[in-house]
Structure 1
Amino acid sequence: MDLNLRKAILDNVSGNNADQLQETIVDAIENGEEKMLPGLGVLFELIWKESNETDRQEMLAALEKGVQQTS
């Protein structure tokens, strides 16, 4: 069986509005289930691709800060 996880995740959120996407993200984070991580990764990939360089630098700064706080 050839499972395209990325496509399945995108199909699952296709057509969702901003509120629905936020609910999906918040639910995945609050649940803390490992099985949700691939979905968040695919959503992050979309955000990254749609962002300009300034937005990417802001995301990286926030990510760096978050990573440093967990260590």
Structure 2
Amino acid sequence: MDLNLRKAILSNIATNDQSQLEATIVDAIQDGEEKMLPGLGVLFELIWNASDEQEKQEMIDALEQGVKKATAS
């Protein structure tokens, strides 16, 4: 069976508007289910690929801060 996870995820969100995309992200994070991680990864990949170098650096900075906060406790 040839399952392309990226294509399946993109197909599921292809017609979503901004509020639906936001709800998808918020729900995935709030649920905390590991099965949602691939979908969040695909969404992050889309954001990353659409970002310029400054935006990418801002994401990396935010990620670094988030990792520090999450591992500080």
TM-score range, shorter chain: over 0.9
Structure 1 stretches of at least 4 aligned residues deviating more than 4 Å after TM superposition = none
CA displacement at 1:58 relative to structure 2: 0.5
Aligned pairs for 1:1-71 within 5 A: 1-71=1-71
Aligned-residue identity in percent: 66
Q: Which amino acid aligns with 1:7?
A: K
Q: How many residues align?
A: 71
Q: Which amino acid aligns with 1:50?
A: A
TM-score (norm 1): 0.97
TM-score (norm 2): 0.95
CA displacement at 1:15 relative to structure 2: 1.5
What is the RMSD computed on CA atoms of the aligned residues? 0.5
Q: Which amino acid aligns with 2:67?
A: V
